[in-house]
Amino acid sequence: MNHSTPNLKDTLAETWLFRMLDEQQLDQIVSQTCSMPVGQNVCVIGQGDAPEGTFWIVSGQVKIVLHTKKGGEKTLEILGHSTCFGLGEMLLEKPHLTFAKTTTDSVLLHIN
């Protein structure tokens, strides 16, 4: 499942989310992680999707957007390098209330 991403373990070890893990725990996370090069304007998570892990932004930008009842969109946040999204839904095992869409070419890590 792990695409050939140089220094994937080092990248994860430097994140605030995983830096407290020991080597064995980090190896477990790495085995469940894949690198995703994603183009601009690609929906990574759909509103209502079941959680299937969390995402870490290595490079690029992702905007978190809510579809309104009137059919519009409300941007809640624009995330950049070294941030994660999807963690709350994954931990709570709840469908995503928002969708996540890249605003630039991006590299994401998807952690199952």
What are 4-49's pLDDT values in tens digits? 444 888 888 888 888 899 999 999 999 999 999 999 999 999 999 9
pTM: 0.83
Tokens of 42: 């690609």
Task: Decide if 52 contacts 112 (C-beta within 8 A).
Answer: yes
The answer to whether 105 and 38 have CB atoms below 8 angstroms apart is yes
Residue 64 C-alpha from the chain's centroid: 11
Looking at the DSSP bridge assignments, the partners of residue 78 are 63
Collapsing DSSP to helix, strand or coil, 99 comes out as: strand
Q: What pLDDT score does 4 carry?
A: 43
DSSP 50: P
